[in-house]
């Protein structure tokens, strides 16, 4: 199971890095067409925006770990472990409820976006413009991912309690070596 998760993490990293590389080269091509050819291509800007949306939500859904987020936890770490556990459970339930509450309206809106299409970017093989439903579908995937991650986190909090290591323990180990 751990091998499978590690493999999926590597695939996710590869996909995100590939999207970032395509974004970078599209941006360079945009600069080249604008300043060297003196004829900017409109599709480059739109493709950069589409890739940016996908990189952000794909990365947050599958790559960014909980400990990688910026947190304001000075009060959290100032409390006893029992209070930390209660606060963690409350926050996990809050995230699950808020994301869950927004899920169906979000899916409804994404489905509604099938009527609208990209302005300039087309599917290479068919020449059709891309329905915005496909572009914004990554947000629905992101929501599902966050909901499942926090359900898993809540399950672990309720069954195992707080993890033995906090997010600073890796830093302390690095300082010692």
Higher pLDDT, 14 or 42: 14
- Averaged pLDDT for residues 32-52: 93
175 falls in which pLDDT band (50, 70, 90)? low
The pLDDT mean for the chain works out to 90
- Averaged pLDDT for residues 80-90: 94
- Altogether, the residues listed in the chain come to a count of 177
User: In Å, what is the CA distance from 157 to each residue of 62, 85, 91, 112, 161?
Assistant: 21, 7, 11, 38, 4
Angle at 43 between CA 122 and CA 13, to 5 degrees: 80
| Residues 138-155 pLDDT 10s | 999 999 999 999 999 999
Find all residues with CB under 8 Å of 9, minimum gap 6, and list them. Answer: 62, 63
Does pLDDT of 43 surpass 80?
yes
Q: How many CB atoms lie within 10 A of CB 43?
A: 17
Does pLDDT of 173 surpass 80?
no
Identify the residue whose tokens are 């890095």: 17
Does pLDDT of 90 surpass 90?
yes
Q: Where are the domains of the chain?
A: 1-64, 68-165
């Amino acid at each position: 199971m751990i091998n499978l998760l590690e493999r999926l993490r590597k695939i996710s990293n590869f996909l995100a890095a590939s999207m970032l590389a395509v974004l970078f080269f599209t941006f360079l091509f945009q600069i080249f067409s604008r300043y060297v050819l003196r004829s900017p291509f409109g599709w480059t800007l739109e493709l950069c925006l589409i890739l940016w949306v996908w990189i952000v939500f794909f990365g947050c859904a599958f790559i960014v770990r909980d400990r990688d987020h910026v947190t304001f936890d000075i009060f959290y770490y100032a409390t006893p472990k029992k209070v930390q556990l209660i606060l963690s459970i409350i926050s996990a339930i809050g995230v699950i409820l808020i994301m869950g509450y927004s899920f169906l309206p979000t899916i409804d809106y994404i489905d509604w976006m099938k009527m609208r299409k990209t302005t300039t970017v087309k599917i290479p093989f068919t020449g059709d413009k891309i329905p915005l439903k496909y572009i914004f579908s990554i947000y629905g995937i992101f929501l599902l991912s966050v909901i499942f991650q926090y359900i898993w986190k809540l399950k672990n909090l309720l069954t195992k309690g707080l993890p033995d290591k906090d997010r600073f323990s890796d830093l302390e180990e690095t300082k010692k070596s």
